[in-house]
Each structure stands twice: as C-alpha cells, then as structure tokens.
Structure 1
Amino acid sequence: MRLRGKVVVVTGGTRGLGRSIAEAALLEGARVVCAARSTGDLELIREVGHDRVHFHHTDVRDRASVEALMRATHDRYGRLDVLVCNAGVSNDGMVRDLGVAEWSEVIDTNLTGTFHCVQAAVPYLEAQGGGRIIVISSALSTRVSPGAGAYSVSKAAVDMFTKVCAAEFAGTGITVNAVAPGIIDQGLGARLAENDLVWDAVEARLLAGRPGRGEEVGNAVVFLASDDGSYINSHVMEVNGGLLWS
C-alpha cells in the first residue's frame, strides 16, 4: 500500500495505459481521479477502486477544463499528491502528407496538454509542501520511426519539458519524471502482436521476447510516485523490455 492516503490524478485515465496506471495506484491504496474526455472503461476501474475512484470530464487542450479538474480534485479530497500526465493521441502520416490539423491535434494534446496540467497542478502541490509529477513519454521520443513524426516530436519535447520542470521546481518538494513505454500489449502493441506479417520482426527487437503489460507500466509509475522513488528526479525511465532499434 505504497500510496495509501495519496490523491492521484491520471489524465486519459479511463482506458488503455491510463486505466492500467489508475488501477495500479488504486491497488496501492491511493484515491484516484480519472480525467478524460469520455468515461471509457471506468466501470472496470470502479470495480477495483470502489469508492476511491472518481471520473472528471476533462479536455487537456482546454486550459479552463484542466484548471477545473485540479480545483475539483482538491475540493473533493482536500489535497493533490500525484499528477500523471498520460492523455495523448497519435496521428500517423509522413511529413509531406500530414495535415496541419492532424499535426496540431497531437502537439496540442501531448505537449501543450501536459503543460496545462503541470501549470495548473503546481500551486496545489506547492501548498502542501511537494508532490510528484509523472509524464508518460514513449520509446519513440528517442527513436526514428518514419510516419510517426508528429507523435515522436511531441514526446521528445515532453522529455525535455520534464527535465526543465524538474530543474525549475527544485527546492519545492516536487519531483518531475517521465515514463517511456515501449511496445505494450494494448492499442498499437496489441495490433502488432496480432499481425503475423510484422510480428516476427517486431518480436526480434524485444530482449524480453514479448510485449509489455499495462500493469508493468502502472507499476513503474507507482514506484516513481511512492517514497521508493523519492530520490529520482529529472529522469526518463524506459519501460520497454530491452527494446532494440535499427
């Protein structure tokens, strides 16, 4: 119960990795606010967390929506201890073909949305003497993948934003780290594993010999959010089973 008594906000927290992160936090004793544009798989989270989980409709691209999220969290639970910036989108396309609207949606959600969340949460974290900010990055923040330009650029920027925030918040008791998942058995990772034409090549890149599980990413986030991760700051933690790239 490493997060007993803690209040955790997870953006994009009702499906995919966000749901896994929320579940991991609930299992460690936290109270969790799942912030997203839709309820997604919230009922499954309710089964795990019972009365310790709450859904708040949020669009991270909208500053007022994010501020309302932080205010509602504090009003409901009286505190905010951990912010997990997980909400994200990906619009694939080669640079010469990618539309401005598709590019902007990725940058506005993955990067500017993270900025909104951090800026809105910091006053609450500072008021209680510190806390944890954990940003979900990606293995593609450091690896070239043609056709994933908008997503890769947004996550590379998120890595640097993480490090800048850690430096700027030094002395406040707030630590800022990122978790960079590799190929996980959800979303794109699940689709890759089901595609016999490409999976052999993908599997050969994984030293672990398998995709990661959502709960393994959740466990990494819990570690950084708990006292066990208290001396880790300005770090991008890769959770990828030893992902090779060429």
Structure 2
Amino acid sequence: MRLEGKVCIVTGGARGLGKAMVEKFAKEGAKKVYACDLNEEALKELEKTYENVKGYKLSVTDRKAIEEFKEKVIKEEGKVDVLVNNAGITRDALIQKMSEEDWDMVIDVNLKGVFNMTQQFGPEMMKAGKGSIINISSVVGIYGNIGQTNYAATKGGVIAMTKTWAKEFARKGAQVRVNAIAPGFIKTPMTKDLPEKVIELVKSKTVLQRMGEPEEIANTALFLASDESSFITGQVISVDGGLVL
C-alpha cells in the first residue's frame, strides 16, 4: 500500500481524472481521501464504494468555505499529506469571440481555485514539515491551443505557481514537494463531446496513436503522492502519449 496512513484531498474528485485519482488513492491504502466537488450524487457513490473516501461539497472559488474545510480536515485528521488541485473547466472560443464572462470564469476556477486551495493547505504542510502538492496542468499550458486562450493561460499559470511554490514551501528544510502533471488528450467527460474528426486528428498526432485513460494520470499522481518521489519537486510531468516531442 503506497499511501498507507496518508490523508489526501482531491478537488474535482467526483468524475473524470479526479475520480480516477480518488479511487487510486483509496485502493492504495490512504487513511482518508477527501473528494471535493459540487456533484453531491457522484460523491455519495464514491463514499458507498470506498470506506476511506469522504465526499465534500466544495467550490474552489469560495475562499470562506475552503478555510472552513481546512479547519474541519485538521480537526478530524490532524494533518494533510497530499493535495491534488484538479478542479477545472473549459469555455472555449477564439479570442475575437471569447466573452469577458467566460475568461473570468475559467481564470477563477482553474487558476485562482488552485491558489485558494494551496494558500490554505500549503502552510499546514510546511508546518508539519512534509507533504505533496500535485497541480493538474495540461500540455495546452505549455504549447497553447487554438480557441483556448483562457484555458491555456490558466494551465500555464499553474505551472508557474508550481515552480514558485516548490521553492516557497521547502524553505527552512520542510520536505514539501510541489509538482505538476500536464495531461494530453485523455478520455474524460471534458473530451467525450469532441467531434470524431478532432479525436482522430489528435490520435494521428500522438506517437502512441491513442487517447490516454484517466487511470494513466492517476498512476502518475500516485507516484508523486507517494514517498517514492521524495526527491522530485518543481517538475512538470507530461503524460500525453508523445503528443508533443
């Protein structure tokens, strides 16, 4: 059991990549996995399946609710070992057609949401002297993508914050590691509505000639959450099947 005794938090934990990570962490012996999401029904299903999973309705844009959640977790468990900042949305459009509302919404969830969660839990890890923060970025945050100005900006920002926090939280000898995962095109609810011709185009540009599975991202997150990656921090790991080489 690679996460035995660890207390983990996964935002956007009710479906897609988040759900895969919650399930992986639970199966690998985590003491408690807090799955945070707005989908209460899906959270209840996870709780029914895994006795070490606790669903918690939480918006990463609600700073007061996040602070209350932190206090609850510390009171219940006394620590947080792993934080996965996974919650994210898309509102795609070419820049000429992108509304200010769609820009603000994506920035608020994908970028500020990561800031909000880490601002609460990072210092707790630093105080404890150890911990692992895993930020879910995207290859789009490294290389850009047509029609995703807002999304690319947030995912690039997540990478910049990752490298900054790796330096900040390791001050004074604290073994707090901060890394990012940059998925390529993965089979999730966020990509299932893509036109078939787009999917085939992506596959043709991917060295491994397929889309990735959520579990393949979860496996990477498991490695970064575990003590096996104890000397890895400030890194961006692309899990994209060779989409960009």
By the TM > 0.5 criterion, same fold? Answer: yes
Q: SS at 2:143's partner residue?
A: coil
Distance 1:40 1:147 in 2: 32
2:46 is aligned to 45
2:122 is aligned to 122
Distance 2:66 2:200 in 1: 42
Distance 1:241 1:229 in 2: 21
Letter matched to residue 185 of structure 1: K
Letter matched to residue 107 of structure 2: I
Q: CA deviation at 1:80?
A: 0.8
Q: CA deviation at 1:84?
A: 0.5
Distance 1:208 1:43 in 2: 36
Does residue 21 of the first structure (1) align with residue 21 of the second (2)?
A: yes
5+ residue gaps, structure 2: none
Letter matched to residue 186 of structure 2: I
1:191 is aligned to 193
Matched-pair contact (CA < 8 Å) for 1:35–1:69: no
Normalising by structure 1, what TM-score?
Answer: 0.93
Instruction: Describe the superposition over 1:180-238 as per-residue Cα deviations: whole angstroms up to 9, x where unpaired.
Output: 1111111243334xx43333322111111211111110110010010111111000111
Q: CA deviation at 1:47?
A: 4.5
Distance 2:165 2:240 in 1: 24
Q: CA deviation at 1:77?
A: 2.0
5+ residue gaps, structure 1: none
* CA distance 1:69–1:227, change in 2 (3 Å): same
Residue 184 of structure 2: which of 161, 173, 182 is its match?
182
Q: SS at 1:104's partner residue?
A: helix
Instruction: Describe the superposition over 1:143-180 as per-residue Cα deviations: whole angstroms up to 9, x where unpaired.
Output: 22111110001100110010001011122211000011
* CA distance 1:90–1:16, change in 2 (3 Å): same
2:144 is aligned to 144
Q: SS at 2:243's partner residue?
A: coil
Normalising by structure 2, what TM-score?
Answer: 0.94
Distance 1:40 1:47 in 2: 11
Distance 1:244 1:160 in 2: 20
Identity of aligned pairs, percent?
Answer: 37
Matched-pair contact (CA < 8 Å) for 2:47–2:53: yes
Matched-pair contact (CA < 8 Å) for 1:182–1:238: yes
2:64 is aligned to 64
Letter matched to residue 131 of structure 1: G
Does residue 159 of the first structure (1) align with residue 159 of the second (2)?
A: yes
